Each structure stands twice: as structure tokens, then as C-alpha cells.
Amino acid sequence: MTTTASTTAEHNKLPYVAVTMGDGAGVGPEVVVAAVLDPQSNAECRPVVIGDALRLRQAADVLGIEADIQSIENVEDAVFTPGRVNVIDLALLPEDLPWGQLSSVAGHGAYEYIRVAGELAMAGKVQAICTAPLNKEALHSAGHIYPGHTELLAHLTGTEEVSMMLSTPKIRVIHVTTHIGLVDAVRKINPDLVERTIRRGHEALVRAGIPNPKIGVCAINPHAGENGLFGQGEEGEKIEPGVKAAQAAGINAVGPLPADTLFFLAGRGDYDLVVAMYHDQGHGPVKVLGIEAGVNITVGLPVIRTSVDHGTAFDIAGKAIADPRSMVEALHQAAEMATRPAPVG
């Protein structure tokens, strides 16, 4: 009896994580059900799904698993027992919503799940948000014009600047720029932005339990410009001063370094974090090295947010073949970061 009471008391100390269902026509409902029922997830956090209970039941049927999917009104109403999925049911999707087809109704639902999760986090009802994938075209067709989750959450929380971090078992990457063209990215990069990105990455890793992370900073040009041979001196003008400013603040940052070499070194464990200058510079190596268990972390928000590092996968939605490992890992990292206080200063 004492053991049970003690176990319950310990479980009640775990962080609440709002798990958004993503686009209901994609693989989100399937990976959410699988991840929320995973024993590791329930040992590390108290997941509460924001979505549609009906769609989650359909996903459980697709997967052929027994799931006690229960609608609740408030986070504090959640009851955590084996096989149970607690869901704040927004009931936005029709019963006959097709799997794997673009839908503005599903796009609007994905927006609403994020909106509610953001409100819960800002109110302190949950300690982190973990998001299943949405479809940008569906989101836009519903009238919500955002490039993706990162920008949407920044808007909903009133945050001016955030960074995207990708984390896999082999490598972590944070981006100075993301969803803009390459020419625009080079134009946007400047020493202050580089420094702020390094700082955000450093703080996130300290929060995750790495006290003095070693950070490698990518160059823009091949061979880091090779003393002016390649490019227009972008490394010395745009990157190096930002790295030096971070070093002056006590951050263990090195660079700018040739990106190809840096990713090789980081992949074998020499660096805890790589700072990529633009979207594909960081995303390409990450997807080669471990997209199956990859996690997308939005750094700089007033709340913790993690996500799978894959899309809605319409081609396999509703077929019980979506891999839930990335969602399980996203929940793991949300719990890990939510249980640590933010660094001071």
C-alpha cells in the first residue's frame, strides 16, 4: 500500500505535456496514440492530448490496439492508468474525414489544437507542448497563414524571435535562419543573430542536463571561405564576431568551421551542438543521421515545445505503418526539458 501511494505521489510530480494531434488526415493521430500509450512516456510525464477523441479512436482501430480514449474538460481532470488516453476533445473533425487527403477542415483543426495548447502553457496548466505534424498547405487553406509550427507558436505566445533545433540520437543542430530562401538567408545573417542563436542553443542544452555544451558554428561558404578564396568575406563579417561575443560570455563555442567537416565531427561525438546558418545546411545531415528518432525543438519560447521531425506523410496515413519513435522521443525530450528550471541570467 505504501509503495502504491509513493508511486502515485511521484507520478503526480511529473510535468503535464500538452500533445497536439496535428493534421487529422495525416499520421498524427496514429503516432500520438502510440506515443501516449508508450510506457516510457507515462513514466516521464503526464501527457494530455489536445485533439479529437473520435479521430484518436479511429487511429487506435487502424493500429489494432486497445485504448481507453477519454474526453476531459480540463488538464487537472486527467486520470493516468495503463491503456488510457486523456484528450481535451475539440470535436472539430467529421467522422468521415478521409485519411491521406488535403483538408482545410483538418488544417483548421491543427491550428486550434495548437492555439489551445499554447493557452494552457501560458496559463501554467501544462509545462510543455509536444506537437504532431501539421500540413502547411492545409493550414493555409483554412486561412491560417504561417510557415509552420515554429512561427505559429511564436505568434501565439508573443515571442519576437525563436530558433529551430533538431535533435537526434547522434547530433543536434540549431538554425540561425530557417524558412527563407538561401539568398535571403545570407543577407539576414549578422553577428548579433549568430550570437543570440548560440545563446539559445547553449541555454537549451544546459536545461536538458548538459552543463557545458561544446558548440560548433558552421561557416556559410565552402572551406569556411578559405581566407577569402570563396565568398565575399561573410565568415569574418557575419559569423566570427558573433562567435567571439558568445565566447566572451563564457559559452564553449568554436567557429566558423567548414560545415562538411563540422557535421562529421559532431556525428562522431566531438560537439554537443552544431549551429547551422540556413535550413538545408542543418536539415540535410540530420535527416541522413536519424530522422526516424529526430525531434524538432523550438528554442526561445516562454514554454517548452518539441515535435516530431517528419511531416504528415499522407501517403501512409491510416495504414498502421507510421513509425512512432520520433513522437516518443519528442515526448521524452519535452519531459526532460520541462522538469528543469530555465537558466538564470
> pLDDT digits over 119-134, tens only?
999 898 999 999 999 9
What lies within 8 Å, CB to CB, of 78 at 6+ separation is 16, 46, 48, 72, 86
Fold of 1-159+301-345: Isopropylmalate Dehydrogenase (3.40.718)
At 189 the pLDDT is 97
Phi and psi of 108, rounded to 5°?
-65, -40
CATH number of 163-298: 3.40.718.10
pLDDT at 2: 43
Res 345: pLDDT: 38
pLDDT in tens, 135-167: 999 999 999 998 888 888 889 888 888 898 988
| Residue intervals in the chain for CATH 3.40.718.10 | 1-159+301-345, 163-298
Specify the pLDDT at position 10.
66
Q: Band of the pLDDT at 342, cuts 50, 70, 90? A: very low
Identify the pLDDT of residue 340.
Answer: 45
- Give the rounded percent of residues in the chain with a pLDDT score beyond 70: 94
Give the mean model confidence (pLDDT) for residues 188-216: 93
Instruction: Enter the pTM of the model.
Output: 0.82
Confidence (pLDDT) at 3: 44
pLDDT greater than 50 at residue 242: yes
308: which strand partners?
295
User: In whole angstroms, what is the distance from residue 84 CA to residue 69 CA?
Assistant: 6
